């Protein structure tokens, strides 16, 4: 299993609490001899969260968008980043380049690094008991997060809870998804008590108790056990009633790179342009290359980046454009570049693959946020907000409705999300909650997971070629099947 065999060679990571300068390289076996090295190991375990360049050039959010009905793959041609095109058309195979291998590698690398830290941290000389407890909690949160991604994407994955010797790598077998979920919940239950309620700005990017509670509620919700919906709602309520969080008054302020870690952010992945990386640093970038990827190709005009043309990925589908038009969030979600072209305000390359004229606005490459050093396409400072308060409001509303809980509270949380953007109340039915999730969270990478977990994917994604009882999971990468005991997911043999 190649990803699980990665040694801890580079302990640099990107964040506000992490330096943008590398700490150096060393072999894992000689490491963890003092608090500084333990801290470097901690940052290394966070590092895969922000990987934006492996073979697919961008963060998880971009590939999750194109898998859904929010966006197409796009790009320059039908073969531009083949993994993107294959998932967009539901033609993924175990041999598809980069995808699904990048998603597998990202998460198993994070698991490996978390496991190493969990084995080493108790014995680090000079590390305080408080730091040990917090580091262990962070590693258990991260291991739970990485496994949650894996079990949702691949279903049948090895459950590895320790660092492996070279001989053990090839003897791993897949666990039942239910057993993986049991371990995820165990890690989160053990992590939450020792995670801090808040962190100082110098530690932004490190997980908090609210992140642990929100992820726990989400993990329970995604298992679709009606008898546990009240339990999920309870975890969300701990977050939603926490005075440290509140909805921002202005919807677009959530996503501004100069408003990171705002009061609506619960779990956020940090990016920075400060390091000024260039193509020679491949693939170790600190910026969010995904921002460049979703910009319009050949664009010339106001507002958007001008020093380097966007790459035209993730054009928004007519389906999403249709449901969003007339909604107050339209202008802050969709960049209507074609209307600008028709009005003579801008030009762009309309021949981009699957071009619709609509592009992502929430994470658009706006000129005011262009990096000043290094190669601009690699140095966008836009963070990825994995979990935010409107998301947990809507998940609690859903869990309460599905579990027969407090109907008034379910209505309240749905109303809060709508009132923030000036919309009137609608009944808190599952259909209305699911519709609100699409409108509120569009292009943030949640839609595909929502469609799969609610059983809507086969119908909604039929226009892209989605096949029921197959495409709910990705194929196990070919590189992980060779010379191992892993078995391919159904439908991909």
Q: Residue 304: what pLDDT?
A: 86
pLDDT over 60 (residue 7)? no
pLDDT one-digit tens code per residue, 438-455:
999 999 999 999 999 999
- 99-103, 237-241, 406-410: segment of lowest average pLDDT: 99-103
pLDDT over 60 (residue 18)? no
Mean pLDDT calculated for residue range 329-341: 97
Cβ contact 477:100 at 8 Å = yes
Identify the three-state secondary structure at position 330.
helix
Domains, the chain: 2-55+98-194+472-481 (1.25.40.890)
User: What's the pLDDT band for 303 if we cut at 50, 70, 90?
Assistant: confident
Whether residue 100 is preceded by a cis peptide bond, meaning omega within 30 degrees of 0, is yes
Residue whose structure tokens are 């000024």: 276
The residues, any chain, with a CB within 8 Å of residue 173's CB and separated by 6 or more, are 158, 485, 486
pLDDT one-digit tens code per residue, 92-102:
999 998 889 99
pLDDT one-digit tens code per residue, 126-156:
999 999 999 999 999 999 999 999 999 999 9
Q: State the Cα–Cα distance between residues 282 and 336, nearest whole angstrom.
A: 32
pLDDT one-digit tens code per residue, 362-403:
999 999 998 888 888 889 999 999 999 999 999 999 999 999
Mean pLDDT calculated for residue range 234-248: 98
pLDDT one-digit tens code per residue, 254-287:
999 999 999 999 999 999 988 888 888 776 788 9
pLDDT one-digit tens code per residue, 338-360:
999 999 999 999 999 999 999 99
Token readout for 332 is: 């802050």
Cβ contact 158:484 at 8 Å = no
Cα dihedral across residues 455, 390, 45, 185: positive or negative: negative
User: What's the pLDDT band for 31 if we cut at 50, 70, 90?
Assistant: confident
DSSP symbols for 428-455: --HHHHHHHHHHHHTTTT-HHHHHHHTT
Q: Residue 308: what pLDDT?
A: 56
Cα dihedral across residues 155, 156, 159, 165: positive or negative: negative
Q: Residue 54: what pLDDT?
A: 56
Q: State the Cα–Cα distance between residues 105 and 247, nearest whole angstrom.
A: 34
Q: How far apart are the first and last CA of the chain?
A: 19
Spell out a b/e string for 149-163, using b for 16 or more CB atoms within 10 Å of the CB, else e. bbbbbbbbbbbbeeb
User: What's the pLDDT band for 28 if we cut at 50, 70, 90?
Assistant: low
Higher pLDDT, 166 or 8: 166
Mean pLDDT calculated for residue range 307-317: 87
Q: Residue 213: what pLDDT?
A: 99
Q: Which helix (H) or strand (E) holds 268?
A: strand 265-269
Cβ contact 380:62 at 8 Å = no
DSSP tag of 287: S
Q: Residue 15: what pLDDT?
A: 36
What's phi and psi for 64, nearest 5 deg? Answer: -70, -35
DSSP symbols for 46-61: HGGGG---SSS-S-HH
Q: State the Cα–Cα distance between residues 368 and 348, nearest whole angstrom.
A: 19
Q: Residue 166: what pLDDT?
A: 84
pTM (two decimals): 0.94
Cβ contact 374:276 at 8 Å = yes
What's phi and psi for 348, nearest 5 deg? Answer: -160, 170
User: What's the pLDDT band for 25 if we cut at 50, 70, 90?
Assistant: very low
Mean pLDDT rounded to a whole number for the chain: 91
Please return the burial class of 272, using the count of CB atoms within 10 Å of its CB with bins 0-12, 13-18 and 19+: buried
Cβ contact 262:253 at 8 Å = yes
Q: Residue 225: what pLDDT?
A: 98
pLDDT one-digit tens code per residue, 173-189:
999 999 999 999 999 99
Q: State the Cα–Cα distance between residues 472 and 453, nearest whole angstrom.
A: 9
């Amino acid at each position: 299993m190649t990803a699980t065999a990665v040694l801890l060679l580079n302990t640099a990571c990107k964040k506000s609490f992490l330096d943008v300068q590398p700490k150096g390289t060393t072999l894992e076996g000689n490491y963890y001899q003092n608090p500084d090295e333990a801290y470097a190991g901690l940052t290394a375990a966070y590092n895969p969260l922000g990987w934006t360049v492996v073979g697919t050039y961008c963060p998880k959010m971009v590939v999750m968008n194109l898998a859904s009905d929010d966006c197409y793959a796009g790009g320059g041609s039908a073969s531009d980043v083949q993994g993107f095109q294959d998932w967009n058309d539901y033609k993924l195979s175990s041999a598809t380049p980069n995808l699904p291998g990048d998603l597998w590698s990202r998460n198993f690398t994070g698991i490996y690094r978390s496991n190493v830290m969990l084995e080493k941290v108790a014995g680090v000389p000079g590390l305080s008991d408080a730091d040990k407890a917090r580091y262990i909690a962070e590693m258990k949160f991260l291991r739970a997060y990485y496994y949650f991604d894996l079990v949702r994407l691949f279903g049948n994955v090895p459950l590895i809870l320790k660092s492996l010797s070279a001989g053990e790598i090839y003897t791993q077998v897949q666990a039942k998804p239910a057993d993986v979920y049991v371990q995820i919940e165990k890690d989160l239950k053990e992590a939450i008590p020792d995670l801090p309620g808040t962190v100082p700005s110098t530690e932004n990017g490190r997980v908090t108790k609210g992140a642990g509670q929100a992820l726990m509620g989400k993990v329970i919700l995604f298992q679709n056990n009606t008898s546990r919906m009240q339990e999920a709602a309870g975890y969300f309520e701990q977050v939603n009633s926490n005075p440290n969080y509140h909805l921002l008054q202005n919807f677009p302020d959530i996503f501004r790179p100069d408003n990171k870690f705002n009061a609506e952010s619960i779990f956020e992945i940090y990016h920075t342009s400060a390091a000024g990386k260039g193509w020679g640093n491949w693939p170790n970038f600190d910026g969010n290359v995904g921002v460049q990827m979703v910009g319009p190709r050949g664009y010339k005009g106001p507002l958007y980046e001008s020093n380097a043309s966007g790459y035209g990925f993730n054009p928004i589908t007519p389906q999403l454009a249709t449901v969003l038009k007339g909604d107050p969030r339209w202008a802050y979600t969709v960049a209507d570049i074609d209307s600008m072209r028709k009005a003579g305000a801008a030009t762009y390359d309309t021949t981009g693959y699957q071009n619709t004229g609509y592009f992502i606005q929430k994470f658009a490459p706006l000129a005011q946020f262009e990096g000043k050093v290094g190669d601009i396409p690699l140095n966008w400072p836009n963070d990825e907000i994995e979990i935010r308060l409107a998301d947990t409001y809507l998940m609690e509303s859903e869990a309460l409705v599905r579990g027969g809980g407090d109907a008034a509270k379910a209505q309240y949380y749905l109303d809060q999300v709508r009132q923030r953007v000036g919309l009137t109340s609608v009944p808190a039915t599952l259909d209305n909650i699911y519709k609100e999730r699409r409108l509120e969270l569009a292009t943030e990478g949640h839609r595909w997971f929502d469609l799969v977990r609610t059983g809507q994917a086969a119908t909604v994604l039929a226009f892209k070629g989605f096949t029921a009882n197959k495409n709910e999971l990705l194929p196990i990468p070919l590189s992980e099947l060779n010379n191992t005991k892993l078995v391919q997911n159904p439908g991909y043999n």
